[in-house]
Amino acid sequence: MAEPLTLYLAAPRGFCAGVDRAIKIVEMALEKWGAPVYVRHEIVHNRYVVDGLRAKGAVFVEELADCPPDRPVVFSAHGVPRAVPAEAEARRMVWVDATCPLVSKVHNEAARHHANGLQMVMIGHAGHPETVGTMGQLPPGEVLLVETVADVARIAPRDPGRLAFITQTTLSVDDTAEVVEALRARFPAIVGPGREDICYATTNRQEAVKAMAPRIDALLVIGAPNSSNSLRLVEVGRRAGCRYAQLVQRAADIDWRALAGVRAVGVTAGASAPEELVREVIDAFRSRYAVTEEMVETAVEGVEFKVPRVLREPAA
């Protein structure tokens, strides 16, 4: 007889509105212009999603130079430096920007502060596409990157009294609060965003993990190893007291030996992981245990973002 096990399912989890919109943009571009449609970088950080779009005719490339000028190109949900659409215009390419509107909001904040003569401090992860895209909105040297509280002590701004800060949208809420506190302590005049840059979906998924943490022996986060928001969910789980918190891309990645003896497992998914992968993990547990499912709901999301007008207009 199978051992009993309770699966606590986080809600919300998985796709956010920005990811949903980005995938829809690629699918609608394929419908409008036919294959191939080129996509600069992974449209979102999930191999399952990227492979599914590739099978429909999307071609994923690293740089715009890898795209022929006579085929449409889509820019990923993470955003791109201003030089990229400028290059597409110079090459007279058809391009569609799938940047998440919440990332675009941060871009606009940076541009506004720059126009007012402020140097920017960005809290983010070096090399992450969103950070590269956001820093690329302004001229070199106008954005100072910090990842940790220790980094705050090392930066040397042009004028400590003329600073503003922005953040990557997929960070840990708690870690970011500590860095912001350090920035305000060192630079009392620093200007912050009117509302927190960390997106609603990132915040909601982290809150759901915190709520389930006291009830579970282990946490599985379904997501990609290059997905910032998924990695943050693992960290949030560990910080909230989960003895075992692990990132898995698919059910096949579950380390069943590490779960030996557990009676309660939490399951969540990063913002770019589809619900099919959650069901796959649940089915894997059902094949081994007598599973009881319980929902841990901390928010209800009703956000929806429109796709660009060019995709809503008929092809010429």
HSE (side-chain half, CA atoms, 13 Å) at 136: 19
Among the listed residues 135, 145, 140, the one whose alpha carbon sits nearest the alpha carbon of residue 109: 135
CA–CA distance, 236 with 117 (Å, rounded to integer): 36
Q: Which of 130, 196, 276, 304 is catalytic?
A: 130
170: its two tokens: 């997929």
pLDDT at site 196: 74
Model confidence over 170-199: pLDDT tens digits?
Answer: 999 999 999 999 999 999 999 998 777 899
Among the listed residues 96, 80, 115, 103, the one whose alpha carbon sits nearest the alpha carbon of residue 33: 96
Q: Is the overall model pTM greater than 0.85, yes or no?
A: yes
Model confidence over 285-300: pLDDT tens digits?
Answer: 999 999 999 999 999 9
Q: What does the pLDDT average to over 137-161?
A: 97
pLDDT at site 45: 94
pLDDT at site 61: 97
Contacts of 284 (CB under 8 A, 6+ apart): 251, 254
Q: What end-to-end distance do the CA atoms of the chain give, in Å?
A: 63
pLDDT at site 316: 64
Contacts of 239 (CB under 8 A, 6+ apart): 174
Model confidence over 68-111: pLDDT tens digits?
Answer: 999 999 999 999 999 999 999 999 999 999 999 999 999 999 99
Tell me what percent of the residues of the chain surpass a pLDDT of 70.
99
Computed over every residue of the chain, the mean pLDDT equals 96
Task: Supply angle C-alpha 231, 144, 201, rounded to 5.
Answer: 35
> In sequence order, what E strands does the chain have?
3-11, 37-40, 58-61, 73-75, 95-97, 119-123, 143-146, 163-167, 218-222, 244-248, 264-269, 289-297
pLDDT at 309 over 90: yes
pLDDT at site 308: 96
Model confidence over 38-55: pLDDT tens digits?
Answer: 999 999 999 999 999 999
Is 130 catalytic? The answer is yes
Model confidence over 2-35: pLDDT tens digits?
Answer: 899 999 999 999 999 999 999 999 999 999 999 9
